Structure 1
Amino acid sequence: MSKKKGEKKEKAGRKKAPGGAHDLAPALAGAARSMRTVHSRNLLEAGLYSGQDGVILELAEGEALTPGELAHRLGVKAPTMTRTIGRMEAQGFVQRKPDGGDGRQVKVHLTPLGLHSLEKINLATAATNSKALEDFSDKEIRTLLKLLKALNRNLIGEAQSEDEEEVVTD
């Protein structure tokens, strides 16, 4: 079966555009993985392990928190947080102290070394951001942030509805 010249051109013009919506999840996951890898390397150069920056930043808000509160705020499981706190305590970044109001609870406090590490975290974060946004214009950065925030809002709604479904019992 032969095709007319006009039909061939029309079909060629309908080529699938690169970068369709089906490419979003793998592209975003790859970018997030690369960002975490570079950020982890920058933190390690500052004497910190990945994840410790989040603990320090939460505690730097000024309030001592229980390990459970930290785990919840950072979106990790309690045993993971307990191991992280143990490592950070051994490094001198945090200290566990009994809660004055409830002796059964402990609260995690920043030490002076932990507080001093804020500058290192900020430098590591700035280096990571600088590398990630290399060759981006200010307008592109604003657009990227706007789109990522919108994407996150969409996904948070989905994640919350899934959490609500899990809570329902018969």
Structure 2
Amino acid sequence: MLYRPFENRLNLELGKHDLYRAQWSILYYLFNNGSATHVEISNYLSVEKPTVTRTITRLEQQGYVEHIPGKDRREKRMQLTELGKAKYLEVRVTVDQYEEEILKGISVEEQQEVIRIMNDIRKNILK
């Protein structure tokens, strides 16, 4: 009951920047973790590698990510370009505003408790 409305509204906010949630998630991951392989990103997002590959291809076309040399020729590592870093920081403002709006009236303690509970639920699911 919460996921779809959240996702739909987030996509509207991200659409102002010509992005979707999947693209934003990859920008977020690369900004916060540095370079990564498609497999690392697919594991982080819990999606199939072909899905990540399609999304990364679109981000490459937009000039936000680029390939960098890996440990061997088979490894495809990605990193944000300077344009990608700038885009992340620009979109971060919109996402922060959205998060502020949807969390209005919910104390920091309550937010932390929800995060803790959601983490426990996730652990139970992944057992």
Residue 89 of structure 1 is aligned with which of 60, 78, 84? 60
Q: Once the two structures are superposed, what CA deviation does each residue of 1:43-67 show, in whole Å capped at 9, x if it has no partner? A: 1112322211211122123532222
Separation of aligned partners in 2, 1:139 and 1:102: 46
Task: List 4+ stretches of structure 1 deviating above 4 A.
Answer: none
Q: What residue number does 1:75 align with? A: 46
Residue 6 of structure 2 is aligned with which of 19, 24, 35? 35
Q: Once the two structures are superposed, what CA deviation does each residue of 1:27-78 show, in whole Å capped at 9, x if it has no partner? A: xxx1011111111111111232221121112212353222222112221111
Return the offset for 1:139. 4.6
Shift in alpha-carbon separation, 1:152–1:72, aligned structure 2, 3 A: closer
Return the offset for 1:141. 3.2
Alignment of 1:54-133 (within 5 A): 54-99=25-70, 101-133=71-103
Shift in alpha-carbon separation, 1:59–1:142, aligned structure 2, 3 A: closer
Separation of aligned partners in 2, 1:123 and 1:58: 16
Residue identity over aligned pairs, in percent, reads: 25
Contact 1:42 1:127 (8 Å CA) reproduced: no
**Structure 1, unaligned runs of 5 or more:** 1-29, 158-170
Which of structures 1 and 2 has the bigger CA Rg?
A: 1
Shift in alpha-carbon separation, 1:153–1:72, aligned structure 2, 3 A: closer
**Structure 1-normalised TM-score?**
0.64
Amino acid in structure 2 at the alignment position of 1:69: E
Larger RCO, structure (CA 8 Å, separation 6 or more): 2
**Structure 2-normalised TM-score?**
0.83
